[in-house]
Structure 1
Amino acid sequence: MKFIIITLFPNFINSFKNQGIIKKAIDNNIIDINIFDIKKYGNNKIDDKQYGGGKGMIIKPNPLYNCIKEAKFLLKFNCKVLYLTPKGKILNTSFIKNKLLNKNIIIICGRYKDIDERIILTEVDEEISIGDYVLSNGDLPSMILIDSIVRLLPGVISNSYKTDSFYSESNLLGYPCYTKPFIFNNIKVPEILLSGNHKLIYKWRLIKSIEKTILNRPELINFNKFNDLEKKIFYNFIKNNN
C-alpha cells in the first residue's frame, strides 16, 4: 500500500516515518510513504488572499494541482485523493475498512484557512475530518489517518494487540484494563479477572464496555447490532440508572 503526503512542511512527516509501527511497516515493505513539498511547485508563492474578502490565506490551486498531478502519475492513477479538513466526513474504523484499506492514497495536508475550492471539486475524492475541532495544520491528522489504516494491514500488528472483535462489531468502547501490581493507590484489581473463568470475564468486560459507551459516547450505540446478551446488559443498566 502506498501513501503520498502533500504538505508544506515535510519534516513533520519525516519524523513520523521513522517511528513505531510505521517504520516497521516500511521496513517490511508493507507500505511506502512519499512526501511531496507543495512549495516546490509554486515558485515561492503558494498562498494568496481569498476572493470576497475575509481573514486567512488560501493555498493556490496551481501549485497544488501540479503536485497532485505528479503524485497521481507516480501511482499510475490507481489511487484515492483525500483532503483533511474540519469540513469533511468524520473518520472511523468502518470508513477505513470500507473505503480506504488496501488502496493507494494521496493525502493533502491543509494549512492556513483552506485550499482553493476548485481543487476539492476536481481532484479530491473524499474530504475527511478526524473530529469536531480545528488544528493549525493537516499534517497531524495525516499521521492519525495513516496510523489508523496501517495498524489494520496484515503483518503490522499481531492479533493479540488488536481490539477484541465484539467491540468493533457492536460499535462499543473498550473495557477497563488492569496489570500488576494487584493493589495500587488502595484500589484492587477486580477479583473476577483473577478467577480464570473466561466466560465470566468476557461478560464482565462486555458489561463495562456497554456502560462506558452509554456514559461517554451514547451516539455510538447501535441497538440493532446487539445480540441478546448485549440487549439484556443494556436494559439492566438503563433500569438501574434511571
Structure 2
Amino acid sequence: MKIDVLSLFPEMFTGVFQSSILKKAAENGLATFNVTDYREFSEDKKHHRVDDYPYGGGAGMVLKAQPIFDAVEHVKAKVEGTPRVILMTPQGDRLDHQKAVELSKEEHLIFICGHYEGYDERIREQLVTDELSIGDYVLTGGELPAMVIIDSVVRLLPGVLGNEASPIADSFSNGLLEHPQYTRPANFRGLEVPEVLLSGHHKNIEAWRHKESLRRTFFRRPDLLEHYPLDEKERQWIEEWRQEKKHSRISKDQ
C-alpha cells in the first residue's frame, strides 16, 4: 500500500512513520509513506500562503483550492491507478473498524490535512472521495486524525502484525468488544486467572471468551448489540445481565 499525506507540518509524521508497527510495515515493503508539504505548491512565491479570508465574511481563514489541487495532481502523477483521496474533517463519516477494513483493501490512499477554519468547498466537490472524522470534536488540524486512521488501516494489511489471527480477535472485528486477556502468573496477589483458561480445553475456552466478549459489550457498549445477530442462548444471557444490572442499580440507590 502507498500512503501519501498532504500537510503543512510534515515533521509531525516523522516519529509515527519511523516507529513500531508502521516502521516494520515500511521495512518489510508492505507499505510506503510519503508526506508532502502543500505550501510548496502555493502560487504565492513570496509568502507561500495557502489560505485566505472567506467570501461573505466570517471568522478564521479558509484553505485555498489551488495548492491542494496542484499537490494532489502531483502525487497522483507519480503512480498508476485511482487512489482514494481522504479529507480529514469533523464533518466526515466517523471512522470505525469496517471503514478501516475497507480502506485496507486499497493500493493507494491520499490524506488531506487542513489547518484553518475550513476548506474551499471545491476541494470537497472535485478532489475528495471520502471525508472522515475520528470523533465528534475539533482538533487543531487533520494530522492527528490522519495518523490514527493510517495506523488502524496499515495494521490490517496481510503480514504487518506477524500473527494473522491478531486483528481477527480485536474489539469491533466481529461486532463485539474483545474478551478479557490474562498472562502469567496464574495467581497474582491472590487474583487468579479463570480456571477455564488453564484447562487446555479449546472448545470451552472459546465458549468462555465469546460469552465474556458479549458480556463486556453489553455492559460497556450496548449500542453495538443493536444490529448484532443474537441467538436464543445469547438473548438469555443478556436478559440475566440486564436483571443483574437492574438489581445492582437498586442496591446502590438504597
The reply to whether TM is greater than 0.5 is yes
Equivalent of 1:162, from 153, 162, 167?
167
Among 206, 214, 218, the residue aligned to 2:218: 214
Are the aligned partners of 2:6 and 2:35 in contact in 1 as well (CA < 8 Å)? yes
Identity %: 36
Checking the alignment, whether the CA contact within 8 Å between 2:171 and 2:177 is kept in structure 1 is: no
Change in Cα spacing, 1:183 to 1:105, as seen in structure 2 (3 Å) is same
Return the letter of the residue paired with 1:202.
E
What is the letter of the counterpart of residue 226 of structure 1? L
Residue deviations 1:119-175, cap 9 Å, x none?
Answer: 011111110011122221211111111111111111111124324289623x00111
Greater Cα offset, 192-201 or 109-118:
192-201
Tell me what 2:135 maps to.
131
* Range with bigger deviation, 92-101 or 211-220: 92-101
Q: Does the 8 Å contact 2:65/2:122 carry over to 1?
A: yes
Is 2:23 aligned against 1:23? yes
Of 147, 150, 154 in structure 1, the residue corresponding to residue 151 of structure 2 is 147
Instruction: Tell me how far 1:2 sits from its aligned partner.
Output: 0.9
- Give the Cα separation in 1 of the matches to 2:158 and 2:41: 36
- Higher mean alpha-carbon deviation, 69-78 vs 9-18, is at 69-78
Q: Give the match's secondary structure for 2:183.
A: coil
Check 1:166–1:59 CA distance in 2 against 1; reply closer, same or farther (3 A cut).
Answer: closer
Structure 2 counterparts to residues 21-170 of structure 1, below 5 A? 21-42=21-42, 43=44, 44-157=48-161, 158-164=163-169, 168-169=173-174
Root mean square deviation, CA, Å: 2.2
How many aligned residue pairs are there? 241
Larger Rg: 2
Counterpart-to-counterpart distance in 2, 1:89 and 1:207:
31
Q: Match of 1:2?
A: 2
Given that 2:217 and 2:225 are in contact with CA atoms closer than 8 Å, whether structure 1 keeps it comes out as: yes
Q: Which amino acid aligns with 2:33?
A: I
**Structure 2 vs 1, CA of residues 166 and 136 (structure 1 numbering), >3 Å: closer, same or farther?**
closer
Q: Which amino acid is 2:169 matched to?
A: D
| CA pair 88-200 structure 1, distance change in 2 beyond 3 A | same
Query: Deviations for 1:91-138, whole angstroms, at most 9, x for unmatched residues?
Result: 112122235523311110121222211101111111001112222121
Q: How does 1:230-241 map to 2 (within 5 A)?
A: 230-241=234-245
Structure 1 unaligned residues grouped into runs of 5+: none
Name which of structure 1's ranges 102-111 and 49-58 shifts more when overlaid on structure 2. Answer: 49-58
**What are the ranges of 5 or more consecutive residues in structure 2 without an aligned counterpart?**
247-254
